[in-house]
Structure formats: C-alpha cells, structure tokens
C-alpha cells in the first residue's frame, strides 16, 4: 500500500516544464528527459496538469478527449515511455482529472448541441427566467454570468468556469459511468495517482438566485458529493491500494473535508483546501492589493491541521501550484532575503501534518513574472479581469499592479533550467515569456551550490522519510498570537519536533516556553543557531527544525 504520509508529490505544468522539440511548448518527452532531476530532489510522485486533447481555452482544463494525448504534448507512446522511465526510477505518475466540466468541443457536448436528448442530459440546461434573463444570477469564476444562452433550445447551459467549459450533470448515472470508464482506462496504463479538479462542485444543490454572493453556496459541497465520491472510489481507484488520490476543494468547509479525506470514509486519500491562500484577498475578492494577514494565515493553517487530525483526515499541504502566484513573492522577500525566506516558507509546509506538494520551480525559489504589458499575459482569467478592473474605474497602472500580484501566469512562466537563452527551456520561442531573473535563479546554478534552495528542499524531503514524527505526528500550535513568528510542535511516540519560523525581515528573540538545550537542530536556513535556555534568537526570515527523542 502506498504510504502517502511519507511521500512528496512534485507538480508539473507540462506546457512550461521542458520543451524537447523546440516548438516553444513543454511536452511529455521533456518530462522524461528531466526525470533524473526529480529523482535527485527525492519526490515520489509526479502530478501533471492535463495533457489530454483540448482547445486550451483554460490551459487544458477544458478536456475535449479524455482518452488521447494532445499532439502538442506528444503521443500515447511518449506517455507510455514516461511511465516506464518514471517507474524505473521509483517515481509514480498522478494524472489530473477534470470531471466537473468538459470542453464545449467534447463529443458529448457536440451531440448535446445537435439536439441528442441522451447527451443533452450529460449537461445542465435550464430555461431562463424571462427573455434575456438567465436561470440564476450566478457568476462564472472567470467573470460574467455562469449561464450561456443556446438559441436553438431557448435554454441556457451552466458553466461555472469559462463559457467553453460546460458543467457535467452528475445526477445522470450515465455521466458517472463514463467518468469511471475514463479512470479505469488510465489505471490500466499503470497510473498510480489521481488529482480531481474542483471535485467538490460536482453536486449542485438548487438553482436559485444568490442575493448574498456569487452563487457558490448553491453548488459547493453539494448534497450528493460524498455519495458520488464513494461510488467512484468503489468502482475504480479503491480497487488498487497503491493508488493515491487528492481532491481540489474549492471554497470548501472543514466538516466536508473530514468526509472527503477521512481514514474510513472511502472517498479520497487527501484534500487541497485554499483558505490559507486567501489571506491577501479582501473577503472572497482576489483582484485587490492588500498585504497578507499573517495572523489569519496562522489561524487557518492551525485550525485545519488540528481539526483534520482530530477527525483522522489527511491534508495535502502546499503553497504553490499552477493557479497560485509564487510564494516567495507572495509571503516572502524577493530581494535581500530571497534565499532565506524561500527556505523558511518551505520549512513551514514540509514539517506540517500532511503530504507536501512542490510546484515546479518552487524548489528553486522562482518568483512572480512582473509583466508590464497585457500582451505578455496568456491566462483567460487575467485577461478578463484586466478589462473588468478598468471597467470598475481602476487605472491601467493599478490593474497591472494587481495582475503582477495575483495572475495565474506568475506560476506558468517556463521552468528556469539554465542562465542561457530562454532559461534552457526551449530552443524556440516560448509560449509565454521567460522570467528575466533566470540569469541568477536556475536549476543548473542551484544544483552546483550546496547552500541553494534546491538542496534545502532535498533535505526537507529526506527528513520526512527519516523521522516518523514528521509523517505521523500530531501538531500543537505554539505562541499563536506572536506578530512575527510561526511555531509549532509535532509529537509522535518518543519523538518531538519543534519548528520555529520568523516570517519577517527583522531580528527578534522568541521564548520557547521550555529549555531547548536538549533539542538538536536537524535543519535551519542560517549557520550556527542562537539558542540560550528557552530563548531563541531569530534573524530575518530565520527558521529552524529542532528534534529530540525521549
């Protein structure tokens, strides 16, 4: 059985990872060529965002054909080679499955639009409330109405995301059977992990106007979602104890996640939740400029850590992915303390209770892109909101400042392999511009430097495999209200771990509340830790991992 508690997952956005043929797009052969790099880091699984046939309106999260590889990424033979070569290195593959919606070019939706009643019931069509008035006032997560009018039917279809991404109707058992069929196909190819995109949105509660928000309370963690996941588990991945699963849970609740990822709930291995990544939002509004709320960040992380443990449920722990800005730009310091803050942020996540996920380039300390022209952006959400922000009265300069902070393109710039042309990502013209700082932030330089962020991540992964307290221990928050420090204890049998992290650029003395002389420092981002009795002197962005047995 896969021990996902001791495992680490490395996430790849194939389009931006490595281009093997010079067309400017990363591909499957590119991943195969870089497997030794991932093995040297120590990751156990590679999660790849979708590479299925897709018109790429939402970078592959609009799937046209679940059974075939998009030619821009390669062929099925390329996938099978990647699978074999990964297996040879002890690495398993995790595929990203998008089952809340399809592309509007999927054959199911094409048949629906052609009037086939069987396939029309694969999606959610509703009559409007009147001429030109959609069934509800729900907003798409990408801006605008969540409903699109189809004149031939005088009906609207639901799309919680882009207009080209119609939502599937999970109430229809035929839809659920087709989804199961897709999973079994990839299981037969040797896939040992699945990540399910926005899977807690698959059960819609009721179709009514939302006068309090954007509609999400009527489709998030819906009434049959647990039933659907148990059914999916029993029919597919639950039949193979080596398969691990993770659900992306949009705007979810703790209580639902006890079920999604409970030890005995027979749904998923673990969940992604995003509440801790909204601490630089204003309410649920992402497209604003506000400093992150450190106290709120700690409160959310600690609540999820302790409550999930109390209910024997498991978290996926992470800062970064293809939908989030770079963490060192977001909660760290890109300038003077770039290396120290990147290592500190890594320490926070990798010592928590949960399976850590590393997003490509995070282990190098890659930063936000700081694009200054809308022509440099590619993401549909960013392009929409650049327009929406200006319609709301913001200047173009302010709109750019917000995109530079929050755009998903910040995480999608090409992987920085070398200081050479296009960061060694491609021999051609990359699909999105390479970050200009690749001359100093790149894999080649960091592999050669034992003090690099890359080698620090490698040591964090080794610690998880070496010390059971990191994989299995409970978590006890310490000094919760300290304005600059995040500290917590992990306890497992006779092992104790004390993790102390300074989130800011000022030196301070922190009181541990116990004599820390009996602890040995097994990892830190500065040489020679400064400890005296119960006092720990922390330099800017300093972190330390202290351990004792007995």
Q: Which of the residues are catalytic?
A: 197, 248
Category of 221 on φ-ψ map: left (φ > 0), alpha (ψ -120 to 50) or beta? left
Is the Cβ–Cβ distance between 8 and 346 less than 8 Å? no
User: CB of 94 within 8 A of CB of 196?
Assistant: no
Task: Name the DSSP letter for residue 16.
Answer: G
SS3 content of the chain, % helix, strand, coil (to 5): 35, 20, 45
Angle at 356 between CA 352 and CA 360, to 5 degrees: 140
CB atoms within 10 A of CB 451: 11
Based on its alpha-carbon atoms, the radius of gyration of the chain, rounded to whole angstroms, reads 23
Residue 481 tokens, joined: 């209200």
How many C-beta atoms lie closer than 10 Å to residue 62's C-beta?
Answer: 25
Q: How many angstroms separate the CA atoms of 478 and 91, rounded?
A: 36
Q: Is 180 exposed, middle or buried (0-12, 13-18, 19+ CB in 10 A)?
A: middle
H-type helices in 322-364, by residue range? 327-330, 338-350
Beta strands in 7-142, from DSSP E residues, in sequence order: 9-12, 45-48, 52-53, 65-69, 92-97, 125-126
Report whether 283 contacts 257 (CB < 8 A): no
Helix (H) or strand (E) holding 274: none
Q: Are 443 and 463 in contact (CB under 8 A)?
A: no
Cβ atoms of 347 and 499 closer than 8 Å: yes
């Amino acid at each position: 059985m896969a021990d996902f508690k001791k495992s680490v997952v490395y996430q790849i956005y194939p389009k931006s990872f490595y281009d093997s043929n010079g067309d400017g797009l990363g591909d499957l052969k590119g991943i195969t060529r870089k497997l030794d790099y991932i093995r040297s880091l120590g990751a156990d699984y590679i999660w790849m965002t979708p590479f299925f046939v897709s018109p790429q309106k939402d970078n592959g999260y609009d799937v046209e054909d679940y059974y075939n590889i998009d030619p821009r990424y390669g062929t099925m033979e390329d996938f099978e080679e990647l699978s074999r070569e990964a297996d040879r290195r002890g690495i398993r593959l995790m595929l990203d499955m998008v089952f809340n919606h399809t592309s509007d070019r999927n054959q199911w939706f094409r048949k629906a639009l052609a009037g086939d009643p069987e396939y029309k019931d694969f999606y959610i069509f509703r009559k409007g409330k009147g001429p030109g008035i959609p069934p509800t006032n729900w907003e798409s997560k990408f801006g605008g109405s969540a409903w699109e009018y189809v004149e031939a039917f005088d009906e609207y279809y639901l799309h919680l995301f882009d207009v080209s991404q119609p939502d599937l109707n999970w109430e229809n058992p035929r839809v659920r059977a087709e989804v199961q069929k897709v999973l079994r196909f990839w299981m037969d190819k040797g896939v040992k992990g699945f990540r399910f995109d926005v899977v807690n949105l698959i059960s819609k509660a009721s179709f009514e106007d939302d006068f309090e928000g954007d509609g999400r309370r009527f489709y998030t963690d819906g009434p049959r979602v647990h039933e659907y996941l148990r059914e999916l588990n029993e029919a597919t991945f639950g039949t193979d104890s080596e398969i691990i699963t993770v659900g992306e849970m949009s705007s979810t609740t703790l209580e639902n996640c006890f079920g999604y990822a409970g030890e005995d709930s027979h749904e998923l291995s673990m969940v992604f939740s995003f509440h801790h990544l909204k601490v630089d939002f204003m309410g649920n509004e992402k497209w604003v400029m506000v400093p992150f709320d450190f106290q709120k960040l700690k409160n959310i992380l600690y609540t999820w850590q302790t409550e999930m443990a109390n209910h024997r449920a498991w978290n996926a722990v992470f800062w970064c992915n293809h939908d989030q800005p770079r963490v060192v730009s977001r909660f760290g310091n890109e300038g003077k303390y770039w290396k120290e803050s990147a290592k500190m942020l890594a320490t926070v996540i990798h010592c928590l209770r949960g399976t850590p996920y590393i997003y490509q380039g995070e282990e190098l300390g890659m930063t936000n892109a700081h694009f200054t022209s809308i022509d440099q952006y590619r993401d549909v959400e960013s392009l929409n909101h650049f327009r929406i922000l200006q319609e709301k009265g913001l200047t173009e300069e302010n709109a750019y400042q917000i995109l530079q902070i929050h755009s998903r393109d910040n995480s999608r710039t090409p992987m920085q392999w070398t200081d050479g042309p296009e960061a060694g990502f491609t021999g051609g013209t990359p699909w999105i511009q390479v970050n200009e700082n690749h001359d100093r932030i790149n894999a080649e330089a960091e592999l050669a430097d034992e003090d690099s962020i890359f080698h620090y991540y490698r040591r964090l992964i080794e610690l998880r495999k070496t010390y059971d307290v990191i994989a299995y221990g409970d978590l006890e928050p310490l000094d919760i209200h300290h304005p600059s420090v995040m500290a917590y204890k992990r306890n497992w049998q006779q092992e104790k771990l004390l993790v102390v992290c300074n989130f800011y650029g000022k030196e301070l003395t922190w009181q541990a509340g116990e004599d820390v002389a009996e602890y040995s420092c097994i990892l830190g981002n500065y040489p020679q830790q400064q400890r005296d009795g119960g006092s720990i002197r922390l330099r800017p962005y300093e972190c330390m991992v202290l351990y004792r047995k007995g």
